[in-house]
Structure 1
Amino acid sequence: MRDVLGYRGKYGVLGPSTNTVVQPDFEMMRPPGITAHYSRIFTPNAKAISNESFRAGAMKIAEGVIDAVRSVMTCSPNYLVMGMSAVTFFGGKAGAEAFREGVEKEAGVRLSCGSLATTAALRAYGAKRIAFLSPYYPAANEEVRRYFTEEGFEVVRDLCLQCPSWTAIAEVTPEELRLRLRELDGPDVDAIVQVGTNLSMVRLAAAAEMWLGKPVIAINTATWWHALRENGIADRMEGFGRLLSDF
């Protein structure tokens, strides 16, 4: 017997309780027959974040992942999607793979996470030299840079917004993000990547691909695209950039 609404797949989504963007983002990109079931990782809304407290907060979220996995697995999803990206970059390539393997071992189903999904997206585009934007702090950006470098990409430059709280990430305006994309762009960059799942960039990234003339990859788009394609869901969708319309 198949689920009446999720007859093509039921996806469990793991995300911080402070995140207000990733759930509606995934809903916008959800094709018929796929359902998404959000499992919230309890996350105090840290204020006055610094390098040290950002990393500590991210690791606190990581500690709650397995409890969220156990909770969402009670609805028998056939796949998991990680709706928080920072911890999936920590420890470089080996750290990302270890994170995925740990979740998959507990759940008994496969997982798409931001770091590995973004790598797959960049390779689909054929990009080699990248720039990236985050809501993080410099210490976390160093982890993202390390990860992409170990995956074989040249990180030309990066930018961190240093948002003052977890919920403040979702308050960054499209106007500011447009300016930041302009700062990152240049002839030495093949693609621009946005990390941080609570930063609202799915629609903006799609539009920016047209006016910058190159791939602009929002991590929520990449992660959801990866989850669909890994499960043989090949639906093409317009309005979310070339990743979902062309690949």
Structure 2
Amino acid sequence: MPDVTGYRAKIGVIVPSTNTVVEHDVNKLAPHGITFHCGRMYVEQQAMGDHATFMGLQTQIRGSMSVALRDVMTAQPDLMMMGMSAPTFSGGVAGNEAFQKEVSDQIGGMPVTTGASACRAALEALDVKKISVFSPYQPVADEWVDQYFTEAGFDVVKVTGLRCPTATSIASVTPRDLVKVLEEIDTPETEAIVQVGTNLSFIRMADEAETWLGKPVVAINTATVWHTLRQAGFTDTVGGYGTIIREF
């Protein structure tokens, strides 16, 4: 018998325990009859204000991922979505593919969507090549993002990180702060803007920014939900959160 609320599909979502935005976003984007269920990766030390602490945060996330996957699998999901982004960009295209396989192997071969793969698929659907990107990260992760998109065939015009001091402080970045960032990274040659960092609240603002920038703006949480749905064969569209999930 199908699940009463998730009667079309149940999607597992893996997030850091410090993340307060992904659950909000997926529930805003969820079509009727498709439900999202989170497993949380325990983060004890949330500092990420310099290279050493940022890399330490990544180690904590990877170290607790198996338990989060174990826990969310008890809900018997149909697909798995990764609700964190930095590790999915590490190592470029090959690194993302290895990450997806690692996760899929732990959950019996179930399809896995990552933020990196989702953003790539969204940009390909939008048929753009020249992009500018922003993140909440330290420079090392911005280098990962640059490498991934470059290897995927995109021309990265600009990439910048907000250098947030802790994992939870990412969620405190305001729309006013992001207006300044968008103005700084938008250039005449930029065909689309991409936001990465799943704890950065941007799904609604991305849609609004498209109207005054006159170009696609891809929020990673929107892209990842969109890609997960499309991989599962669902064609539902959602208005108010950007071109990618409204028109593709």
Class of the TM-score when normalised by the shorter of the 2 chains: over 0.9
Q: Which residue of 2 aligns with 1:8?
A: 8
Question: How far 1:59 sits from its partner (Å)?
Answer: 2.5
Q: 1:129, 1:190 within 8 Å by CA — same for their partners in 2? A: yes
Q: 2:47, 2:57 within 8 Å by CA — same for their partners in 1? A: no
SS at match of 2:74: helix
Worse-superposed segment, 165-174 or 40-49: 40-49
> What are the superposed Cα offsets for residues 133-162 of structure 1, whole Å, 9 maximum, x if unpaired?
000001110011011111011111111100
Residue identity over aligned pairs, in percent, reads 48
Q: 1:51, 1:140 within 8 Å by CA — same for their partners in 2? A: no
Residue 45 of structure 2 is aligned to residue 42 of structure 1: no
Residue 180 of structure 2 is aligned to residue 179 of structure 1: yes
- For 1:79 and 1:20, the matched residues in 2 are separated by 21
> What are the superposed Cα offsets for residues 98-149 of structure 1, whole Å, 9 maximum, x if unpaired?
0001111111211111000000000000110111000000111001101111
- For 1:158 and 1:115, the matched residues in 2 are separated by 15
Aligned length: 247
Q: Which residue of 2 aligns with 1:124?
A: 125
In structure 1, runs of 5+ residues without a counterpart are none
> What is the alpha-carbon root mean square deviation over aligned residues?
0.9
Which segments of structure 1 move beyond 3 Å, counting only runs of 4 or more? none
Worse-superposed segment, 158-167 or 62-71: 62-71
Residue 212 of structure 2 is aligned to residue 203 of structure 1: no
Question: How far 1:25 sits from its partner (Å)?
Answer: 0.4
Q: 2:12, 2:77 within 8 Å by CA — same for their partners in 1? A: yes
Q: How does 1:185-196 map to 2 (within 5 A)?
A: 185-196=186-197
Q: 1:194, 1:219 within 8 Å by CA — same for their partners in 2? A: yes
Q: 1:45, 1:167 within 8 Å by CA — same for their partners in 2? A: no
> What are the superposed Cα offsets for residues 224-247 of structure 1, whole Å, 9 maximum, x if unpaired?
000111111111111011111100
- For 1:236 and 1:220, the matched residues in 2 are separated by 15
Question: How far 1:62 sits from its partner (Å)?
Answer: 1.6
Residue 72 of structure 2 is aligned to residue 76 of structure 1: no
Question: How far 1:212 sits from its partner (Å)?
Answer: 0.4
SS at match of 2:239: coil
Which amino acid counterpart does residue 123 of structure 2 have in structure 1? L
Q: 1:18, 1:44 within 8 Å by CA — same for their partners in 2? A: no
- For 1:15 and 1:88, the matched residues in 2 are separated by 13
SS at match of 1:66: helix
Q: How does 1:153-168 map to 2 (within 5 A)?
A: 153-168=154-169
For residues 215 and 48 of structure 1, do their structure 2 counterparts lie closer, same or farther at Cα, with a shift above 3 Å needed?
Answer: closer
Residue 115 of structure 2 is aligned to residue 114 of structure 1: yes
Q: How does 1:130-145 map to 2 (within 5 A)?
A: 130-145=131-146
Q: Which residue of 2 aligns with 1:98?
A: 98
Question: How far 1:53 sits from its partner (Å)?
Answer: 1.5
TM-score (norm 1): 0.98
